[in-house]
A = this chain, B = another copy of it.
Amino acid sequence: MPLSFATRRTCGWIESFALEIPFKVLASTGGERDLTTTNQEDFYVIDSCLGFDYSVMILKGLDPWEGSSSRTRNPFAWIREAFSSTEKDVINLSGLDSAVYFVFLSTVFGIFLLSGIIMLPALLPLASTEKIKRVVDSTGKNAFNDLDKLSMAHMKENGPRLFASAAACYWVSLVTYYFLWKAYKHVSDLRAEALMSPEIKAEQFAVLVRDIPSSSEGYSKKEQVDSYFRAIYPEAYYKSIVVTENKAVIKIYKELEDCKKKVARAEIIYGNSKEVNPEGVRPTHKTGLLGLIGKKVDSIEYYNKKITELTPKLEAAQKVTLKDKQQGSALVFFTNRVTAAAAAQSAHSPIIDTWTTINAPEPRQLLWTNLPKTFYEREVRQYVVYFIVFLTICFYMIPIGLISAFTTLPNLRKMLPFLKPILDITSVRTVLGAYLPQIALIVFLALLPKFLLFLSKAEGIPSQSHAERAASGKYFYFVVLNVFIGVTIGGTLFDSFKDIQEKPKSIFEKLATSLPGNATFFLTFVALKFFVGYGLELSRIVPLIIFHLKRKYLCKTEGDVKEAWLPSDLGYATKIPNDMLIFTVTLCYSVIAPLILPFGAVYFGLGWLVFRNQVLNVYVPKYESYGKMWPHMHKRILASLLLFQATMVGYFGVKKFHFTPIIIPLPIVTIIFSIVCNKKFYRFFQCTALEVASHELKETPNMEIVYNSFIPPCMNADKVPEEQLNV
């Protein structure tokens, strides 16, 4: 991770808090390779008195002050900065994935803005001026509050004003199609541009081969792979890395790295102690359990000895692994991009489930342990995971209910008697009694994204970015089905299922009748999301607190501080489903209660602004998937649109509108639109189009560098025997 010590930024209203942090940023702009070897002197404090830092920009070798010479020390300068940044800046600083996220934000913002501009002046007066006596609305309340007067609920049943609402459905849908189409085209262009860049990117020369059939005896997997691909690509084939079972090596490697870290730490402590006492106190520790028991030893000597012991052991283990633990998967390298791109999308063997090829992901995001999983293992795992996710989404209340049932206060007292004195305090008992069930729910919801990511990785997906996309998809279903539909209908999906079973087709009807009653709730929900959510996001208070705690109690060496300071990436796996929830809610209410539209627009507009700042200055992406997230988002936006249209058909039915059939074409158009987009754009997001790969490179690639970049750190190239590398 060359960018591992990029500092986080704080800004705006928490400046005073931010001032405490000793910002240390690398000013030398020697490019990525230098960064990892720079020593301590290269750091210096910049701008720490104001809390502004532009670590990401500096790390990329850009001058953040360029073009803004009259820079004010205004706490809101970041807003101007965010607005003045271009898409190119984002791509250069944070990669294509971040740019795609902004395309998503601006697309959704555009949808709500354009819908709202027409619909607010048209629908609100129509609803509020409707002469209607007290109507029993679907939630059973007999009176309208002020907000309800502005909603479709306030329109007469089968009244002529409902035509305006029907027209609004068309308008929202058309606006969505238009923006989605433009966005898909734009993202496709961006992806093409990124992939045809003249820069040499190692992953564009590599192909991941899986399901290598067991070879005839006497041949190693490596020889098998080499001879197979050399026969098919006599000219363009370079060489291969066969995936090995690295468990043993990783264990030794980790131990070695740990020792190296501990030596460094011990030396720092020794150095610090010299400042007090010129001779210094050599740090010692005990060798037993947790350093509490056993013989006391000199730490520096002990670890240095251990390092000299482990180094040859590691080398031996590497040799054994390379020779005997070759797995049925390999990375294959080609000397040009077109051949690699064509190889990744072609069937190589007549038996399709052997020698399967895909584009190699970046080395940094390869999930090595997933690579050797076989074709049918992956298939079976996928279906098992889908089934588990289905159960989780539909019946998540059952385990939580069970836990709640068992963790009542009397039970707790029985099972954990040492808690008795605490539980006997009246106030604690009251609070716990009231909130124990909710705590179980909160813990579950907090752990869910991690659980879904774990499940996605268990599917056998080869790259981190793909796993996060898969997790994001699963989380989307959970969030939309349970939060939106669950809250609206009142109860979990499980309860709803029972009703639906009795009378299929009732879900949209049920949803439709419940929607107007919840308009106020969701309006508040969207507003709360951006007031509290973005505030937290901008201030980054939580990571700041964690960092301070770590620095105080754990960090000793400069390396430790760097690690604690390690900037995270955007975390698409949870961010996008949450955004999608807001989108779904706003879209579904857009015609029923158009007042939600400005809130939705503000959420995404503000989101664009806040994250523009965060992306330019705070987050460092963990991987680059060249915009593969977009089809995923596109599909889910269309799913939300379909939900909206189906719900509206249901709601018009509830309103006893005789012309309801006029909006039935909408879901059909959505499905056709989805198919067309899929056929036109989707495949390019799965593989690289040859036209794109055939663009010229700025120089002939040094294949040795490309090759070495894919060797996992524990099998480090300089320690790998020559004959293995140059076969």
Contacts and interface: CB of A to CB of B under 8 A. Distances in A.
Interface string A335-366: 00010011101111111110100000000000
Contacts of A348: 689-691
Contact of A352 (B191, B342, B349, B679): B679
B232 A690 contact: yes
A617 interface: no
Nearest to A355: B691
A375 interface: yes
Most chain B CB within 10 A, of A228, A687, A692, is at: A692
Interface string A368-399: 00000001100100000000000000000000
A346 B346 contact: yes
A164 to B, nearest CB: 33
Contact of A350 (B192, B228, B379): B192
Contacts of A444: none
A350 B191 contact: yes
A187 B682 CA distance: 32
Given A228-B691, A232-B338, A232-B694, A681 B346 contact: no
A341 B232 CA distance: 11
Contacts of A350: 188-189, 191-192, 681, 684, 689, 691-692
Name the residue in A345, A348, A350, A681 with the highest tally of chain B Cβ atoms < 10 Å from its Cβ: A350
A233 B337 CA distance: 12
Interface in A178-218: 188-189, 191-192
Contact of A342 (B188, B228, B343, B692): B343
A272 B228 CA distance: 67
A542 interface: no
Contacts of A233: 338
A386 to B, nearest CB: 14
A254 interface: no
Residue among A233, A682, A687, A689 with the most chain B CB within 10 A? A689
A341 B694 CA distance: 18
Contacts of A682: 352
A694 B188 contact: no
Interface string A673-689: 00010011111100111
Q: Which of A232, A342, A681, A684 has the most CB of B within 10 A?
A: A342
A231 interface: yes
Name which of A231, A346, A694 has the most chain B CB atoms within 10 A of its CB: A346
Interface in A635-678: 676
B680 A347 contact: no
A348 B684 CA distance: 9
Contacts of A346: 341-342, 345-346, 687, 690
Given A342-B343, A679-B379, A694 B231 contact: yes
Copies of this chain per assembly:
2
Interface in A227-261: 228, 231-233
A680 B232 contact: no
Contacts of A689: 347-350
A350 B693 CA distance: 10
Contacts of A376: 676
A680 B679 CA distance: 24
Contacts of A379: 679
Contacts of A676: 376
Interface in A304-354: 338, 341-343, 345-353
A693 B189 CA distance: 33
Interface string A557-585: 00000000000000000000000000000
A96 to B, nearest CB: 14
B680 A352 contact: yes
A348 B349 CA distance: 21
Nearest to A352: B683
B690 A347 contact: yes
Given A352-B679, A679-B353, A347 B684 contact: yes
Interface string A511-551: 00000000000000000000000000000000000000000
Contacts of A228: 691
A212 B206 CA distance: 29
A306 B293 CA distance: 113
Interface in A589-613: none
Nearest to A192: B350
A707 B682 CA distance: 34
A288 to B, nearest CB: 54
Nearest to A185: B351
Contacts of A679: 352-353, 375, 379
A191 B351 CA distance: 11
A180 to B, nearest CB: 16
A680 B376 CA distance: 10
A196 to B, nearest CB: 9
A349 B687 CA distance: 11
Given A232-B690, A342-B342, A681 B352 contact: yes
A418 to B, nearest CB: 52
Contacts of A681: 350-352
Nearest to A675: B379
A346 B694 CA distance: 13
Contacts of A353: 679-680
Contacts of A232: 338, 690-691, 694
Given A342-B346, A345-B345, A679-B375, A351 B188 contact: yes
A316 to B, nearest CB: 37
Instruction: Name the residue among A188, A345, A694 with the largest chain B CB count within 10 angstroms.
Output: A694
A105 B405 CA distance: 64
Contacts of A680: 351-353
A338 B235 CA distance: 12
A376 B675 CA distance: 11
A73 B191 CA distance: 73
Given A232-B691, A352-B682, 8 more contacts: A189-B350, A345-B347, A347-B684, A347-B687, A348-B690, A350-B684, A350-B691, A379-B679
6 contacts: A342-B346, A347-B684, A347-B687, A348-B690, A351-B680, A379-B679
Interface of A: 188-189, 191-192, 228, 231-233, 338, 341-343, 345-353, 355, 375-376, 379, 676, 679-684, 687-692, 694
- Can you list the 3 inter-chain pairs with the closest CB atoms, starting with the nearest? A350-B684, A232-B694, A192-B350
